[in-house]
Amino acid sequence: PELGNALDAPVLLHPADEVLWRMTHPDSDFRSIADGDTLRVAGTELRALHTPGHSPGSVCWHAPELNAVFSGDTLFQGGPGATGRSFSDFPTILESISGRLGPLPGETVVYTGHGDSTTVGDEIVHYDEWVARGS
């Protein structure tokens, strides 16, 4: 909330993460976002893709004009994000990747929350390996 306050910008949060938000920021407000909501940032439209798994309210932001998706902790170069916490779920993150990110064009650049960028096509070909590997 400090950055939002400093920039006079709202904190955007999927309501499925409200419980987690309230654990650390009980007195801070947020603006709810839902799957399919859009924002315009620097002249570019971003569309929210609800991608639960890392957390119940994880959201990726798809920018079709840029042929890009900002995946946060949902997808990295080399596989899905972490699901070792009590609020995370490996089968759910796999569903999010296959159902929400997998259908994007293969050349879509994935800007991850940590580490190097990749593409949807470079990652989705490993989906069956991730399923077999498990969490």
Region 43-64 average pLDDT: 98
* Three-state secondary-structure class, residue 114: coil
Query: Cα(129)–Cα(79) distance, rounded to whole angstroms?
Result: 9
Q: Structure pTM?
A: 0.93
Q: Which pLDDT score is estimated for 128?
A: 97
Give how far the C-alpha of residue 18 lies from the chain's centroid of Cα atoms, to the nearest Å: 16
Q: Which pLDDT score is estimated for 39?
A: 96
- For the chain, domains (ranges, CATH) are 34-133 (3.60.15.10)
Nearest Cα to Cα of residue 99 among 80, 117, 114:
80
Q: Which pLDDT score is estimated for 38?
A: 98
**Using one digit for the tens of pLDDT, what is the confidence trace for 18-38?**
999 999 999 999 999 999 999
Q: Which pLDDT score is estimated for 135?
A: 73
**Using one digit for the tens of pLDDT, what is the confidence trace for 90-99?**
999 999 999 9
